[in-house]
Amino acid sequence: MGTTIYSQLAGQRAVVTGRPLLYFGAKRAIGPWAERLWSEGWQLQYAEDISDLQKLLATADFKVGIVALDPRLSDNGRRVESTIAKAEQIRWIALLPREAMDLHPLRELIGGAFYDYHTLPIDPNRLLLTLGHALGMAELAADTLPPEEREVRNNGESEMVGTSPQMQKVFKEIRKVAGVVAPVLITGESGTGKELAAQAIHERSPQADGPFIAVNCGALPANLIQSELFGHEKGSFTGAHQRKIGRIEVASGGTLFLDEIGDLPMDLQTNLLRFLQEKTIQRVGGREDITVNVRVIAATHVNLEKAVHEGSFREDLYYRLNVLQIKMPALRERIGDVPLLAQYIFRRFADEKGRRVKGFSEDALHTMNHYDWPGNVRELINRVRRAMVMCDKFLISPVDLGLERRTNSRTVVTLSEARDKAEIDTIRAALGQNRGSVSLASRQLGISRVTLYRFMEKHGLSRI
């Protein structure tokens, strides 16, 4: 939707529908035609340097932008490309002198970062046609994004990206548990985003204005973890030269996130249980009970029920922590999310990519979608970032991701297994594309709902 603006045309006040148009560069190039652009409904906003450009991109919603290039900008081209690459929702038009097209750095810059270009002198009719096409393509691309991805782009407050039924279930659970203060236990494999889920709960909770303090219980030395969590008094042990406030106390009024809680030593489990029951702590070497108002969110990749059965985790602490539970799905279980995540990571780290890299090849997307991802989202981020730097072509390939050998080495033992795998992949893809709707997925696959249900039961698949 455009915004209504006023423009002074031929001495009369006219109302037009404004389509925001970002212009970066010297005003003299566009100045003589600015009034014509306004009269055609384009609401011009100027940025004369990189700093102005970055501010406008952060505060306004543009779909089309013009960048005035000249030979002197070629040395600064990398910075310009890095800035506009982060605003991937905008279709950029390069404006430059005709003779500048002979310069190789500018040709490379235009080919890698711009939707189209317009050579000077400006032909207003041709420029308006180009702008119209660019706006249409930008709006078309925006309309094809799922609502969750549009929200991530607009507010930038979370890296939890996904449209799969599995992630929609997680998002719904986060919204449910955020409004209460009961402890939450987040389970899932390493690299699935357990800390991101904890942060999302905190940001939507009544404690959102308070601190979010994360503690990795598995990374702290056993002889220091009690002091780190509960703090200590001066002189309580050798080296305690002054009072130390522990992480629990620092988190007061906010959220304490205990990652890898399954690695907490048994004696510390007793102290933590007391804190959860009494809402008070004692610093090491201290005698005073200190009241702490903090919400506790714990996470683990180990099976705590099994740990309780084996005697390595206290049963009473397990039930104290496991009041509410969220299970983060493994990446291989998230139907259709891998390409979406890969594209999001590509945009997020656009300033790290090689100049020529524009995206992923179809082979790369297919390979990523069929890889098991033992390291989950963390592994995906690492592989994509490395490929963005190392790729020397326009599109990232499976080789750049380091997945070609792994994929080619996987063999199908029997024809029956190959058929089952093809059925599973096809059904998962159809369910993912149709947000878990069996009716829509069966229609897409050309089979009845009863048949699709039968296949899902055969392979142990579900909509969620």
Enter the tokens of residue 50. 């990189």
Tally the domains of the chain.
4
User: Are 122 and 244 part of one and the same domain?
Assistant: no
The pLDDT assigned to 13 comes to: 31
Identify the CATH number of the domain in which residue 420 sits. 1.10.10
The pLDDT assigned to 6 comes to: 30
User: Are 62 and 121 part of one and the same domain?
Assistant: yes
The separation between CA 66 and the C-alpha centre of its own chain, rounded to angstroms, equals 27
The pLDDT assigned to 362 comes to: 79
158 within some domain: no
Higher-confidence residue: 394 or 334?
Answer: 334
Q: Which residues pair with 44 in a beta bridge?
A: 21
Quick: pLDDT tens for 202-228: 999 998 899 999 999 888 776 778 888
User: Are 268 and 193 part of one and the same domain?
Assistant: yes
Radius of gyration, alpha carbons of the chain = 28
Half-sphere exposure for 48 (CA within 13 Å, toward CB): 4
Does residue 153 surpass a pLDDT of 50?
no
Q: Which of 316-330, 377-391, 436-450 is predicted least confidently?
A: 436-450
Higher-confidence residue: 10 or 19?
Answer: 19
Classify 41 as helix, strand or coil.
coil
Q: Cβ distance 63 to 90 under 8 Å?
A: yes
The pLDDT assigned to 72 comes to: 63
pTM metric for this prediction: 0.59
Per DSSP, which regions of 58-123 are E strands? 64-68, 91-97, 116-120
Confidence bin at 385 (pLDDT 50/70/90): very high
Does residue 161 surpass a pLDDT of 50?
yes
User: Are 396 and 427 part of one and the same domain?
Assistant: no
What sign for the dihedral angle of Cα 104, 105, 111, 116? Answer: negative
Quick: pLDDT tens for 316-364: 999 999 999 999 999 998 888 898 889 889 888 888 887 778 888 878 8
What's the CA dihedral at 141, 142, 145, 149 to 10 degrees? Answer: 130
User: Are 225 and 297 part of one and the same domain?
Assistant: yes
Q: How far apart are CA 434 and CA 168, in angstroms?
A: 13
Where do runs of H (alpha helix) occur along 322-360? 337-348
Length of the chain: 464
Q: Please report, in angstroms and rounded to a whole number, the separation of the first and last CA atoms in the chain.
A: 35
The pLDDT assigned to 325 comes to: 95
User: Are 130 and 219 part of one and the same domain?
Assistant: no
Per DSSP, which regions of 144-300 are E strands? 184-187, 212-216, 231-232, 244-245, 255-259, 280-281, 290-291, 295-300
The separation between CA 79 and the C-alpha centre of its own chain, rounded to angstroms, equals 23
Domain range holding 261? Answer: 165-327
251 within some domain: yes
User: Are 260 and 175 part of one and the same domain?
Assistant: yes
Identify the CATH number of the domain in which residue 294 sits. 3.40.50.300
User: Are 60 and 131 part of one and the same domain?
Assistant: yes
Q: Which residues pair with 426 in a beta bridge?
A: none
Quick: pLDDT tens for 39-92: 888 988 888 888 888 888 877 788 899 998 866 654 565 677 777 776 777 888
Identify the CATH number of the domain in which residue 93 sits. 3.40.50.2300
User: Are 37 and 57 part of one and the same domain?
Assistant: yes
Enter the tokens of residue 32. 């003589």
137 within some domain: yes
Which residues contact residue 417 at a Cβ distance below 8 angstroms, ignoring those fewer than 6 apart?
Answer: none
336 within some domain: no
266 within some domain: yes
User: Are 61 and 173 part of one and the same domain?
Assistant: no
Identify the CATH number of the domain in which residue 383 sits. 1.10.8.60
225 within some domain: yes
Q: Cβ distance 27 to 44 under 8 Å?
A: no
339 within some domain: no
Cis peptide before 121, with omega less than 30 degrees from 0?
A: yes
Residue 360: name the closest of 334, 383, 333 by CA.
Answer: 383
User: Are 40 and 62 part of one and the same domain?
Assistant: yes
Q: Which residues pair with 92 in a beta bridge?
A: 65
Answer with the one of 108, 143, 178 that is the final residue of a domain: 143
Q: H/E element holding 249? A: helix 247-250
User: Are 288 and 390 part of one and the same domain?
Assistant: no
367 within some domain: yes
Q: How far apart are CA 261 and CA 304, in angstroms?
A: 9
